[in-house]
Structure 1
Amino acid sequence: MNKAILSAVLGAALLATGCSNLQSNTASIRDLNDPSVSGHVLAEQVCSMCHGVGGNSINPTFPRLAGQQPAYLTEQLKAFRSHDRSDVAGYQYMWGIARSLTDKQIDELAQYYKGQIPVPGQARNAGLVAQGKAIFLNGVEASGVPACASCHGPQGYGHDGFPRLASQHDNYILKQLSVFKHTNDRYTGLGTMMSPVAYNLSGDQAREVAAYLSSQP
């Protein structure tokens, strides 16, 4: 096995182990219970175990946070802390992580990730990307689906409380669309706007939008 492949395998194994440990042993992580630790330090020493260095996650289970809108991250971290956001991944991973975060640490985390440079996405299926782009920019009038760009911006970079979606993992986007469509687990804040949108998207349309967004810079 060459060194590059070995490094990748070991890195993936360490990432999986780290996230598993965070899930089961959050109480043993001293920094999470210390309000004097800065958000910058938490991001680099704790959050990076799942969300990757600089917020550029390589595991589609965990969203990429680099370049994310700070207002959105602040809202989500507070929703995890209060348990208002209760999707499966939320309570499995983020409830324990967020429970001891102070407002100051949350603000610092949001600003840290805002300042990180996102890794550009890659197109894997040109046909899906083209269809997804049309939906993202124009919506689906026949189904009552508005243009995603009307809230998330023409490039998918988001603004204010609307999240950046460009270069996000397609699997993660699909998972969240399913949560919005089939549950009330994210029915809080601006998330309430997504339920009817996701409900009116077909499975194929959701995959097309996810493919387009994951291909963006």
Structure 2
Amino acid sequence: MKKILLTLAVGLAVGSSGCSNIERSRDLANPNVPASVTAVQVCSNCHGIDGNSVSPNFPRLAAQQPAYIVEQLTNFRGQHRADPAGFEYMWGLSHHLTDDQIKGLADYFSKQVAQPNAPVDAKLAAAGKEIYEKGLPAKEAPPCIACHGPKGEGLANFPRLADQHQDYMIKQLQVFQRTDERPNTPMTQVAHLLSLEEMKAVTGYLQAFPSDK
């Protein structure tokens, strides 16, 4: 009887330990790890627990469109998105993620509250606002607002850009100009129409997007 009780006690202890570990797990190859755990234990190292990353090397994910996050993680997992930061960081991290984990991560970050980003020069922001809302008619560049929304909130597969890091957005626009690292996107054509100064203006406006809009 004592032997049976001891066996049960050990079994319960192991089971309890496993439950505790999975709630703090960083094992990206384990399909049983909840997406919320992965978000806190892994993704937060670069993107922040609340999705408001500090470093411009890593995009802010707070309040991002869930469909966009799903699309990008799926592209990383399939190694279809090949921009430098993508294959350096995200190919390996996303390799074993299941569809359910990807959807869970998208749900987690989309529900976080976006925080204001650093301000930029007022003249630069004003020039960027003009581009964002009206485009560049002389270059036949469409207004960003048409896809990314009046508040920069994005729509479905079009990402939220409000409060995003200026430096990160400039780098992505330059990636779009190279055409082969983020294929099958309308931004390839749009980015080719923008000069570096125009990129700085519109991304500066978006980084410091007015909170009352």
TM-score using structure 1 length:
0.84
CA contact (8 A) 1:158 1:165 kept: yes
Work out whether residues 123 and 129 of structure 1, in 8 Å CA contact, stay in contact via their aligned partners in 2. Answer: no
SS in 2 for 1:49: helix
Q: Post-superposition shift, 1:122? A: 3.1
Alpha-carbon displacement from aligned partner over 1:118-157 (angstroms, at most 9, x marks no partner) = 1112322001000000100110000111000000001110
What is the aligned-residue identity percentage? 49
Give the drift of 1:31.
1.7
Q: Output aligned runs, 1:170-209, within 5 Å.
A: 170-188=166-184, 192-209=185-202
Q: CA deviation at 1:30?
A: 4.8
1:134 correspondence with 2:127: no
Root-mean-square deviation (Å): 1.0
Partner Cα distance (1:108, 1:195) in 2 = 29
Q: 2:93 aligns with which of 92, 97, 102?
A: 97
2:31 matched to 1:35? yes
- Contact 1:128–1:212 under 8 Å retained in 2: yes
Structure-2-length-normalised TM-score: 0.85
- Name the structure 2 match of 1:26: none
In the aligned structure 1, how far is the partner of 2:125 from the partner of 2:144?
A: 14
User: Which one has the bigger helix percentage?
Assistant: 1
Paired residue for 1:74? 70
Deviation of 1:182 (Å): 2.1
Aligned to 2:159: 163
1:153-172, CA deviations, whole angstroms, 9 ceiling, x for partnerless residues? Answer: 01110011100000000000
Unaligned runs of 5+ in 2: 1-24
The answer to whether 1:85 aligns with 2:81 is yes
